[in-house]
Amino acid sequence: MEAAETQTRFAIPIFTSFLSWYAHFPIFLVSPPEKKTTPVQPHGDPYGPVTPHIYTSYYTVQLFLAHVRQFLNLAGTVLVYIGYRYATVVPAASATDYYIDLCKELLKSPMAVAGGWLFFVSTVLWVITYVSFRFHLIRLAIHNPESPSLKVPRITYTIVGMEPFNWLFDIPGMHVNVARVPRLIILLITLICGSIYTVAILLQEPCTLCWGCYKRGTSILGLVAGVCASCPLLTPQDQIPPVCNQPEVSECGAGKLRWSDMWAHERYIAGSFLFASFMLMLFVARPKRLEYYETLRVEALSMKK
């Protein structure tokens, strides 16, 4: 049983893919009921061999789950979009404030809330799909290792493997020993870039509003009055910071000194690292993983003992 579980680990990245979640990719891995199976003796499966009747039942359930989830996702998208179209959001001082206000408005919209509940139900069914899918694949790996359901098309596996979540956290490489070094490099790059972007996002508002225009010792929570010389926290006795006399901030309160300018260099570095990580995944890690998973899905590991 343990060998069969190892043989079916190729399915994990399919269930951590957004595209696969939305379109229900596992349905493409469920082939019509097979006329016969080849039990392996001794198989060690307490549930017995996978009979044509069991396969037919599983096939029917997976088709039902796929159609229900596809309907829920499509209906949820339409409802959230309608809620977004009718949301009235006042333009904010920054993109962060705008999206926060937009989320608050969507939470007040009955249409958007209904769409969110549809997505929640769809996600619950997705978890049920994963559990049943893995259970069935493990049994197939024991009794019928050449089943079409154990063979993911290369293009499908490549697409889900290159999605942002699977790529940045290298989900496809969790159990691939031959690609351990590339995976460590990818995870390290993700950690570095994630730290850069996290710091940038946390400092976006303070830097945009008040970079260089406050008295020494002002806390980060108090940086709310803009970059102009008329900042209310400044007193006539305070010396006006030189940055406030530059042409970029000549219009008081206009916020000309933007976060994007201050963090352009750091973002460029992070983007370069991410590009290198993507190339590493595409040309080095991906071929090794495809070879590894194709070996797992074709070979009957339990028969080698």
For residues 83 and 110, give the distance between their C-alpha atoms in angstroms, rounded to a whole number. Answer: 8
For the chain, give every domain's residue range. 2-152
DSSP the chain: -HHHHHHTGGGHHHHT-HHHHHHTGGGGG-PPPPS-----SS---TT----HHHHHHHHHHHHHHHHHHHHHHHHHHHHHHHHHHT---PPPSSHHHHHHHHHHHHHH-HHHHHHHHHHHHHHHHHHHHHHHHHHHHHHHHHH-TT-GGG---HHHHHHHHTSHHHHHTTGGGTT-GGGHHHHHHHHHHHHHHHHHHHHHHHHHHHHHHHTT-S-TT--GGG--S-SSTT-TT--TTSPPPGGGGSGGG-STTS--S-HHHHTHHHHHHHHHHHHHHHHHIIIIIHHHHHHHHHHHHHS-GGGG-
* Mean pLDDT for the stretch of residues 121-145: 87
Name which of 14, 122, 130 is nearest 71 in CA terms.
122
Question: What is the four-CA torsion angle of 170, 171, 175, 181, rounded to 10 degrees?
Answer: 0
Q: Which of 8-17, 179-188, 192-201 has the highest mean pLDDT?
A: 179-188
For residues 249 and 96, give the distance between their C-alpha atoms in angstroms, rounded to a whole number. Answer: 21
Q: What is the DSSP letter of 9?
A: G
pLDDT value at residue 37? 52
**The pTM is what?**
0.74
* Mean pLDDT for the stretch of residues 221-228: 60
pLDDT value at residue 305? 42
Chain-wide mean pLDDT for the chain? 76
Structure tokens at 107: 């939470």
pLDDT at 55 over 50: yes
pLDDT tens per residue across span 233-277 = 555 565 555 545 444 444 443 443 444 556 677 878 898 999 999
pLDDT at 97 over 50: yes
Task: Check if the beta carbon of residue 211 is closer than 8 Å to that of residue 196.
Answer: no
pLDDT at 54 over 70: yes
Q: Which of 46-55, 78-87, 162-171 is the least confident region?
A: 46-55
Structure tokens at 9: 């680990």
